[in-house]
Amino acid sequence: MSARKAELAENLARVEERIESACVAAGRKREDVTLVVVTKTYPASDVRLLAELGVRHVAENRDQDAAPKAAACADAELKWHFVGQLQTNKARSVAGYADFVHSVDRPKLVTALSAAAVRNGRELGCLVQVAFDVESGDVGARGGAAPDAVSALADAVAAAEGLRLEGVMTVAPLTGPYAGSPGQAFARLREISTRLRAAHPAANMVSAGMSSDLEEAVQAGATHVRVGSAVLGDRPRLG
């Protein structure tokens, strides 16, 4: 085993232990939480090693990096999650490789993704990204729709050809009332998810939690945690 593969295996084992402990603490089953490894800024060779180590879900946040990586790893058994802010002119590219888009935050993007999915002959799983630090009608600095916009966006996704409404996602806010309290933000996301499922019962994905706050996310009911640096190492630059 290469040194890098051994390092990734060790990091993965540590993250796995954290998820398992968090599940035990929350009284949840381990299989109810999916680990999505965020590979942004790391090379396709790392993605391949992760696949060899049993990782099945990977995430990227920039199309220009993700598209070539997904192409280089097309033969690996991986689901690709797109988790970054998405310009409508990138929708077509993303629809070519992504299985899930976690960052749906405005009606224009729903329209663009739907057209792109149809054109690519693919179905895209979509999550509505919620921002807890924005006012009604705005999109947050790191993407995300205001909580009161979620329901209409979800309806739009559910009605769009080529898209499948899967659930909700958030990134713990750095500003606003929940700054420094990821658990509270995740609990609010869970409430939004519960309301969403009343209208769309199959939309049961709750994507929350990163390297620093995955325990809080599992406690609050996350079904998908998005973990980057704890598996791959600290990124040299903000990615």
Ligand X SMILES: *Cc1c(COP(=O)(O)O)cnc(C)c1O
The residues that touch ligand X, with contacts defined as CB under 6 A, are 38, 40, 61, 83-84, 171, 210-212, 226-230
CA-CA distances (angstroms) from residue 86 to 43, 108, 139, 201, 206? 21, 11, 12, 26, 19
**CB closer to ligand X, 49 vs 210:** 210
Cβ atoms of 228 and 211 closer than 8 Å: yes
In angstroms, give the least distance from the CB of 99 to ligand X: 16
3-state secondary structure of 31: helix
In angstroms, give the least distance from the CB of 161 to ligand X: 26
Cβ atoms of 4 and 43 closer than 8 Å: no
In angstroms, give the least distance from the CB of 56 to ligand X: 17
**CB closer to ligand X, 84 vs 147:** 84
**CB closer to ligand X, 112 vs 171:** 171
**CB closer to ligand X, 57 vs 120:** 57
In angstroms, give the least distance from the CB of 38 to ligand X: 4
CA-CA distances (angstroms) from residue 129 to 20, 39, 42, 147, 230? 26, 20, 24, 9, 23
Q: How many residues does the chain have?
A: 239
Alpha-carbon span 6 to 125, nearest angstrom: 33
**CB closer to ligand X, 40 vs 106:** 40
**CB closer to ligand X, 120 vs 205:** 205
Helices 182-199, 150-159: inter-axial angle, 10-degree rounding: 50
**CB closer to ligand X, 34 vs 115:** 34
- Phi and psi, residue 161, nearest 5°: -65, 140
Amino acid type, 162: G
- Phi and psi, residue 21, nearest 5°: -60, -40
3-state secondary structure of 146: coil
Which residue is closest to ligand X by CB? 228
In angstroms, give the least distance from the CB of 167 to ligand X: 15
In angstroms, give the least distance from the CB of 115 to ligand X: 24
In angstroms, give the least distance from the CB of 229 to ligand X: 4
| 31 class by beta-carbon count within 10 Å (0-12 exposed, 13-18 middle, 19+ buried) | exposed
